[in-house]
Chain A
Amino acid sequence: MQILARFSRPVGDAPEALLQGLPRLPWLWAGAGAVALLGAMVLGVLVGPVHIGLGTVVQVLVAPIPLFGGMSSADPGQASILWSLRIPRVVLGAVVGAMLATAGAAYQGAFRNPLADPYLLGAAAGANLGATLAIAFAPGTSVIGVNVVPLAGFIGAAAAVAGAYALGRTVTGLRNTTGLILAGVAIAAFFNAIQTYIQQSQTNSIRQVYSWILGRLVTAGWDGVLLVLPYVVVSVAVILLHRRLLDALSVGDEEVTSLGISARRVRLIVVIAATLGTAAVVAIAGTIAFVGIIVPHTVRLLVGRSYRVVIPLSLLFGATFLVLADTVARTLAAPAELPIGVITALVGAPFFIVVMRSTRAAAL
């Protein structure tokens, strides 16, 4: 932090700095995040059972650009591995990680609860139930060209959150967030019970269900990426636009209302956006745990609590974290793949503990 202070301009001479102490995106951290993401993605593309050199990767990447097209001498087999397997997988990892971390930060702001994450209102339980139903009773089916499993996962996640919201509304009228969170807990417990029952009674699909629940980024080509991208772009854009309002919510519902901001409306829009994005990535990648909690908290511990800073940096570092976790997941026990959720928790928890211990506990 000392070093950072030296790099940032003195507040007095910045043209926009009429006031001291306003939250600003620390460009050094943002730059570090961008470099880390790029590095993680390059590493993710390079690592795999077939050795492909950096030179080949660069050649394959620039080949579609007309100016460089003629210069490519890459082996078509390797090019195919890169374009249809590794690059889409790494991109999907970045998209999923960015979404989960951004949604986590958004939930924490909307509920003013540091333990909130995209799964709080039952999104994970709903997705698991939907996917389990599809795997157990309609394996291999597709609807208009889309595999039914992610579709069922998406519907399950959205249904669970909508159910929690409706229940919270009837019980407490959404006057406070506790009612909503309790409704989410109840819905999640109910969905988990049904899911476990189906999982146990359909023993032939238990392994497949289990692997789905722990999360994976297996994708054939760009279909997965293209499927989630529209949801993620809209969701992240809406959350980014709410940065100021999420900061305002931190003074509490009543005071924010007296400032002319409807806490209920902000919360509803942010929760819908974060849930839709989460449901989309969970549908493709399974319920990868922990990213929505540790990434925003690490950012908070390192650079401060304003959502104007936490959200954009969570996006960058969430993407980086998941790309790295996926690379580890597919190399640690190669040729077998470990579930990525195991890696995010296994690496994430100790890292988070180190960050917590090395910064002041008061910053929590």
Chain B
Amino acid sequence: MNDVVLRGVEIAYESEVVVSGLDLSVSSGEWLALIGPNGAGKTSILRAIARLVAYSGEIRIGTQAVADMSGRELARRVAMVMQEPHMPEGMSVSQYVLLGRSPHLAYFGKEGRGDQRVVADILERLALGRLAARRLDHLSGGERQRAAIARALAQQAPVLLVDEPTSSLDVGRQQEVLELIDGLRAEQGLTVIAAMHDLTLAGQYAHRLALLVAGKLVAVGSPAEVLTEPAIADHYGAQVRVLQLNGAGRAVIPIRGHAAAAVENQLP
């Protein structure tokens, strides 16, 4: 119903192709992490699903092609949390989160009591109730990230795209944000597609990982299938140890010592 399907997707900026021949499906309620070295095309894929960048090929949500939806319709199906959301100075948390109701309003429409209720509930749920009247520029990094997630949740879209949700957070805040997203996913059946560079976090929270290298999908599967020491050495040029955690979960520990090239030579 709210599964996301990409078929033969190609994304190019000017003439430079950043993603090509991408086939990927994400089921309703699943958490898929897009992983890969810098410049692999993770963010571009999220942007294409949210139709923020031109693409060729097909992207569908349920049975409907993203290309055929109106902007508002798409925003009611897909919400995106940017890596560095722009937080207008002086705007209050509640006003910012209320912007998430935009897809449910007519062009000249005004937020009603129902919209305020949705936002009030979300703020409570994300422990932001106390900060409702606070200015965005007075929030800490973790609070800002929660505010951005709150705005996306206010869209009440079944598909949540998250770009590097933990990049600027300390380890406690990282865990808090990911637990929150996972809780909401389980509770509301959200389909989560997240670009993640922290392989240990990706290996523990995501059901499946899609490993991209230079715009091509090189592996997709469970953390156990994708996060292998040779694959990481191959594609990231990093020497690591992969530990098994909580059954299917994987933790990736970088090991100091050999240069990437040396590691590559030792591989069978």
A329 CB, nearest partner CB in chain B, Å: 35
Q: In chain B, residues 57-114, which have Cβ atoms closer than 8 Å to a Cβ of chain A?
A: 70-76, 78-80, 82, 85-96, 98-100, 102-103, 105, 107-111, 113
- Among residues of B, the one whose C-beta sits closest to the C-beta of A243 is B110
Which candidate, B116-124, B164-172, B229-237, is the interface stretch facing chain A? B116-124
Instruction: Judge whether A21 and B132 touch: CB under 8 Å.
Output: yes
Chain B residues positioned under 8 Å from A363 (CB to CB): 90
- Among residues of A, the one whose C-beta sits closest to the C-beta of B71 is A260
Given contacts A251-B86, A255-B86, contact A20 B52 (CB under 8 A): no
Query: Could you mark each residue 2-20 of chain A with 1 if its beta carbon is under 8 Å from any beta carbon of chain B, else 0?
Result: 0000000001000010111
Q: In this assembly, does A259 line the interface, its C-beta being within 8 Å of a C-beta of chain B?
A: yes
Q: In this assembly, does B155 line the interface, its C-beta being within 8 Å of a C-beta of chain A?
A: yes
Query: Could you mark each residue 20-63 of chain B with 1 if its beta carbon is under 8 Å from any beta carbon of chain A, else 0?
Result: 00000000000000000000000000000011100000000000
Give Cα distance in the complex from A306 to B79, angstroms.
24
Given contacts A251-B86, A255-B85, A262-B71, contact A19 B102 (CB under 8 A): no
- Among residues of B, the one whose C-beta sits closest to the C-beta of A249 is B88
Instruction: Judge whether A250 and B132 touch: CB under 8 Å.
Output: no
Of the candidates B96, B102, B116, the one whose C-beta lies within 8 Å of that of A260 is: B102
Instruction: Judge whether B72 and A305 touch: CB under 8 Å.
Output: no
Q: In this assembly, does B127 line the interface, its C-beta being within 8 Å of a C-beta of chain A?
A: no
Q: In this assembly, does A39 line the interface, its C-beta being within 8 Å of a C-beta of chain B?
A: no
Of the candidates B88, B117, B119, the one whose C-beta lies within 8 Å of that of A251 is: B88
Q: In this assembly, does A69 line the interface, its C-beta being within 8 Å of a C-beta of chain B?
A: no
- Among residues of A, the one whose C-beta sits closest to the C-beta of B50 is A258
**Which has the most chain B C-beta neighbours within 10 Å: A245, A251, A257, A260?**
A260
Given contacts A255-B82, A259-B99, A260-B74, contact A18 B91 (CB under 8 A): no
Interface size for B (C-beta < 8 A) is 47
Q: In this assembly, does B216 line the interface, its C-beta being within 8 Å of a C-beta of chain A?
A: no
Given contacts A251-B85, A258-B80, A260-B102, contact A21 B95 (CB under 8 A): yes
B120 CB, nearest partner CB in chain A, Å: 5
Give Cα distance in the complex from A260 to B103, angstroms.
5
Instruction: Judge whether B88 and A250 touch: CB under 8 Å.
Output: yes
A171 CB, nearest partner CB in chain B, Å: 15
- Among residues of A, the one whose C-beta sits closest to the C-beta of B82 is A255
Chain A residues positioned under 8 Å from B116 (CB to CB): 16, 18-19, 22
B135 CB, nearest partner CB in chain A, Å: 8
Give Cα distance in the complex from A265 to B139, angstroms.
32
Chain A residues positioned under 8 Å from B120 (CB to CB): 18-19
Q: In this assembly, does B261 line the interface, its C-beta being within 8 Å of a C-beta of chain A?
A: no
Given contacts A259-B99, A260-B103, contact A22 B92 (CB under 8 A): yes
Q: In this assembly, does A46 line the interface, its C-beta being within 8 Å of a C-beta of chain B?
A: no
A-B contacts, 14 of them at CB < 8 A, read A16-B113, A19-B98, A19-B116, A19-B132, A20-B132, A20-B133, A22-B92, A22-B95, A22-B116, A258-B80, A258-B82, A259-B155, A260-B71, A305-B90
Q: Which 9 A-B pairs have the closest CB atoms?
A: A260-B75, A21-B133, A21-B92, A260-B72, A260-B103, A250-B88, A20-B133, A18-B116, A259-B102
Q: Besides the contacts A18-B116, A19-B120, A20-B94, what 9 more A-B pairs have beta carbons closer than 8 Å?
A: A21-B133, A21-B134, A244-B110, A247-B91, A258-B50, A260-B72, A305-B89, A305-B90, A306-B95
